[in-house]
A and B are shown apart, each in its own frame.
Chain A
Amino acid sequence: MQLLELSLYNFCLYRGEQTFNLSPDRRNGKAKPIILVGGINGGGKTSFFDSILLVLYGSRANCSKRSNQSYSEFLTDCIHRGVDPADGASISLTFQYVSEGVERIYEVRRRWNVKKTLREHLEVYCDGKKHADFSKNWNHVVEEIVPIGISQLFFFDAEKIRFIADDESTSEALGSAIKSLLGLDLAERLIADMKVVHMKLAERQISNSDREAVDEWKGALDVICSELKARKQDCGAARNRVDFAAKELVKAEEAFARIGGKHWDERNTNEVTKKELTLKKTGIESNLTGLASGSLPLAMISDLLKTVDEFDKESRSYQQLIHAGEALDSHDKAILSELRDQQFSAKVLESIELVLAKRRQLRAEIKEPEPSIHLSEGSRNSLSLLMTKELARLKKEGASLVFNLEQTSAELDLIRRQLASTPKETEIKDVAEKLKAAVRSHADAESELKRFEQACEEKIREREEVESKIEEKLLRTNAEQVAADDAERMSHLSERTRETMKVFLEQSTAAKIDRLAANILEAFQYLLRKKSLVESISIDPVDFSITLIDSDGMTIPKQRLSEGEKQMFAISVLWGLGRASNRRLPAIIDTPMARLDAMHRGNLLTRYFPSASHQTIILSTDTEVDEEFYAALEPNVARAYHLNYDEKTKQTIVEQGYFWHHEEAEAV
């Protein structure tokens, strides 16, 4: 399928008739698949996007601007404000589609106006001729061309596709899209149909009594099914309650942490620790006080101690000299008196006396050293002990005590701070109770959910039992009674077909899933900056959940991806799906890059857009695709439009060319 032209008439911001040529181009053998539509926010990009969905799907279209309006309210709102509602609005889309080997040009025109009530008309032209059948059954026809389930994979608002990267919601929406895209739904439907045929055949053959039994069971089955439905609804409601309770729990936990709940929980141990530390600190302090009362201060003046020691020694040797002098004096006297007694001549005695007197004189001249420091025996011993060992020991002890004191004080400070930031009981009581309540209601909600889920499983089991009873009865009687019948052959065949189809479905699912996973992985690695982030991708063939696996074989939780990476991942999934489906559908991408950084934008621009599809329509603002990016994209751009919103007239005029390239584009 290839879009050719979109014509808007009085649609939303587009006043009068405005036409977009959407066909891609080819120049010098190189495809130019991109149609770039630029506009500021509120300039009509989303209306453009909506118009394509609206013209194709009518009331089923999932238009982003519709929100909760009824279809007729929505259509009325879509008529340009400044015109007469009776004049109405219209959208016309022309496209090319190959059906049964023939290429045809289709034109779908949807127009509506309000004259008292809203009237809507749909006309479909095929190769220029009005096609009554198509016009009437357009909803069926369009399902063949672009099924609405698939449309959201090709026509998407990049802001909204990130749901694909969320773990919870991957399953159903994506699962059905994957199935129909890959053609798996056909096989499934065939299997179901075969079963119906088989059962119908069997039912035709059975006896009246058996039929009664079967009818009874069928009645019971209906009851079970409706009960199951109710249980499923219960489950859904319970799941919502669990979600709500989980959110409340997170909030309560945050509030508790914010008010200092951790310190509150630890307050008792903190108090005990504080007491212990205070005691320890007091002990160390009293040790230090004891140390301070001793000789430790003398360690500060070790040089003075040395001086005292030296002076003390000098004083002592002086004292010894004095004692020795006194002894010599009396010795001299004794010698002289002895010599006198032995009658030596007076002359000899005189000269001896002179010598001795000279010597006494010399001795008397020895002076006392300055200063005279003369320590007692006890003080001298203390001083020498201090200088040799004691002071060193005291210092060592002091250093270790001071270290302990500092450490203990630091620990004590920390505990004091924690205690100081511990909230008061009155402050935390409410919050703590709320937290407790939140924990409880979360647990309650979860156990309730579990109960409902069990009830569901129970019902499913019952249903299966009854179904198999019915089946058994039908098939058994069938086998017994219609052995020779034509129906037997059909029944047999249909059963075989079913078996075959089941195998086919399993195998083709596996094969297609593998190819899809490979495609997505390839796209993701190609687009992603961190090449090594994801090593492989696996898709569950049953529920179609996608798992990312890193190089160590570990699952990467999707919440670990950044917002930008999530978006890149979502785009990779869509791209991979598009390629795996082999459907030639155009891609329409709204606001593709709002959340991405320059690197991801660059990858998207140069790698994804040019090869997203044979025809890619990009709706962008001037900041998403700015001048620099436009230059990078330009070689692949077939044509560009600028939605010029006029503030005064409140309408959008379509101009050729992008924001900065009006003239150039017009020349082309």
Chain B
Amino acid sequence: MIKQIKLSSQARDKLIRIKSRTGIGQWNILCRWALVVSMKEASPPTVVDIPADSNVEMSWQVFGGELNELYWALVKARCYKDGLGTDEETVAQQFRLHLHRGIGYLATPSAISNIGDLINLALDEDK
């Protein structure tokens, strides 16, 4: 399990926009949504370099809260499904890619314009 998460400054700007649209103030909550939104997609994220050039930083425990162990396991299971290795390094890299891809999805203005839209993401399957 990784210890610290540091976002890119682009992701930070995007998160600030999402914050104002949804009214959710905590970085970690938004990051959880971003991770899950990306992992919901069937295709694996493209491997790119993501700079850790922002001042937004949190520990893994803060990111995952009570379920932090489960979140790690989920990323690991996803790596396995995508045919990748499940070693620490690969899982850590994939986590970072999913997180940033998810932030990008959430920041699309047409996707989320208020808190209702965000919640709806988790309900769509049943609708």
Contacts and interface: CB of A to CB of B under 8 A. Distances in A.
A307 B77 contact: yes
A401 interface: yes
Contacts of B26: 293
B36 interface: yes
A293 B29 contact: yes
Given A304-B74, A308-B74, A289 B122 contact: no
A296 interface: yes
A31 interface: no
A288 B24 CA distance: 9
Given A297-B36, A300-B121, A371 B70 contact: no
A379 B70 contact: yes
Contacts of B66: 378, 382
B78 interface: yes
B115 A370 contact: no
Contacts of B120: 398, 402
Interface string A377-402: 01100110000000000110011011
A215 to B, nearest CB: 97
A412 to B, nearest CB: 12
26 contacts: A288-B115, A288-B119, A292-B33, A293-B24, A297-B36, A298-B67, A299-B122, A300-B121, A301-B39, A302-B125, A304-B39, A305-B74, A308-B73, A311-B77, A370-B80, A371-B79, A382-B66, A382-B70, A395-B122, A398-B119, A401-B119, A402-B119, A402-B123, A405-B114, A405-B115, A406-B116
A450 B102 CA distance: 80
A301 B119 contact: no
A312 interface: yes
Contacts of B29: 292-293
Given A288-B116, A296-B122, A297-B36, 16 more contacts: A288-B119, A292-B33, A295-B67, A297-B32, A297-B33, A301-B40, A302-B125, A304-B81, A308-B74, A308-B76, A308-B77, A311-B73, A311-B80, A379-B69, A383-B70, A406-B116
Contact of B24 (A292, A378, A405): A292
Interface in A12-60: none
B5 interface: no
Contacts of A61: none
Contacts of B40: 300-301
Nearest to B71: A298
A398 B73 contact: no
A370 B79 CA distance: 11
Interface residues of B, number: 36
Contacts of B70: 308, 375, 379, 382-383
Interface of B: 22-24, 26, 29, 32-33, 35-37, 39-40, 66-67, 69-70, 73-74, 76-81, 86, 114-116, 118-123, 125-126
A409 B23 CA distance: 15
Interface in A389-443: 394-395, 398-399, 401-402, 405-406, 409
Given A300-B121, A301-B36, A375-B69, A289 B115 contact: yes
A601 B53 CA distance: 87
Contact of A289 (B24, B36, B80): B24
A663 to B, nearest CB: 77
Chain A interface SS verdict (over half): helix
Contacts of A308: 70, 73-74, 76-77
Nearest to A297: B36
A376 B74 CA distance: 14
A285 B23 contact: yes
Contacts of B81: 304, 307
A378 B67 CA distance: 9
Contacts of A311: 73, 77, 80
Contacts of B36: 297-298, 300-301
Given A289-B23, A292-B22, A382 B74 contact: no
A603 B33 CA distance: 76
Contacts of B119: 288, 291-292, 296, 398, 401-402
Given A291-B119, A292-B29, A379 B67 contact: yes
B76 A373 contact: yes
Contacts of B126: 395, 399
A398 B79 contact: no
Contacts of B123: 299, 395, 398-399, 402
A372 interface: yes
Contacts of A299: 122-123, 125
A372 B86 CA distance: 8
Interface of A: 285, 288-289, 291-293, 295-302, 304-305, 307-308, 311-312, 370-373, 375-376, 378-379, 382-383, 394-395, 398-399, 401-402, 405-406, 409
Contacts of A379: 67, 69-70, 73
Contacts of A399: 123, 126
A355 to B, nearest CB: 37
A302 B123 CA distance: 12
A301 B86 CA distance: 19
Nearest to B32: A297
B71 to A, nearest CB: 9
A247 B77 CA distance: 81
B127 to A, nearest CB: 8
A371 B86 contact: yes
A293 B22 CA distance: 12
Given A304-B77, A373-B77, A379-B69, A405 B116 contact: yes
B86 A370 contact: yes
A376 B35 CA distance: 22
A395 B123 CA distance: 6
Contacts of A398: 119-120, 122-123
B116 A373 contact: no
A46 B111 CA distance: 74
B108 to A, nearest CB: 16
Nearest to B68: A379
B69 A376 contact: yes
Nearest to B25: A289
Given A399-B126, A402-B123, A382 B67 contact: yes
A406 to B, nearest CB: 6
Report the 6 A-B pairs with minimum CB-CB distance, sorted nearest first.
Answer: A371-B86, A297-B36, A379-B69, A307-B77, A300-B40, A299-B122
A376 B67 CA distance: 11
